[in-house]
Structure 1
């Protein structure tokens, strides 16, 4: 069974702009996963990004849900990746915050 990472990031961008930034910055999020090739299977279902990424020979899956004032990431880390969940959570939270900060 995998280790879940749940991150909620507040923003003041509105849903459409937050989604646009997640779409544009998703590759940066993927590169934070150790051993990832940088390629991901992703699809949008409304304002939900559903994805899988190969990392260290395992499959990481998750959902990024865009709301009016928050973005929530729910990511499942299998096996050995679960061991680094706490450190990875901090990096993902920082990257998400950077993507959603007003410019």
Structure 2
């Protein structure tokens, strides 16, 4: 699944806001979970969100005017794929717009 979040921050500010919001992401995962993140390039972020024995991989690319993401939802969670996409997109939007914490799931 893919998502896009437009912004007017420029690449470096968008990256900074996302990076600052990542530590808070874990506490918004229902039932608890973990988030592992790695910047694989200056503008590419790789996330693995783990909860309930499942892992969701998210690849995020930060551009000057948009953040694009690809979410890989395992078959076991496919029935929840819409909610997962909404959570990741909303969290990204909040981090960019307000520099705040991610969305509550």
Normalised TM-score (structure 1): 0.79
Q: Give me the whole-angstrom Cα distance separating, in 2, the residues matched to 1:66 and 1:43.
A: 13
**Cα shift at 1:81:** 1.8
Alignment of 1:86 with 2:87, yes or no, is no
Moved over 6 A (4+): none
Q: Give me the whole-angstrom Cα distance separating, in 1, the residues matched to 2:90 and 2:6.
A: 12
- 1:35-93: CA deviations, max 9, x gaps? 452342x2112210112222210221121110000001211111222211112222322
Normalised TM-score (structure 2): 0.77
Match of 1:25 in 2: 21
Match of 1:48 in 2: 44
Q: Is the 8 A contact 1:11 1:69 kept in 2?
A: yes
- Higher share in strand: 1
How many aligned residue pairs are there?
98
Q: How does 1:1-103 map to 2 (within 5 A)?
A: 5-40=1-36, 42-44=37-39, 45-101=41-97
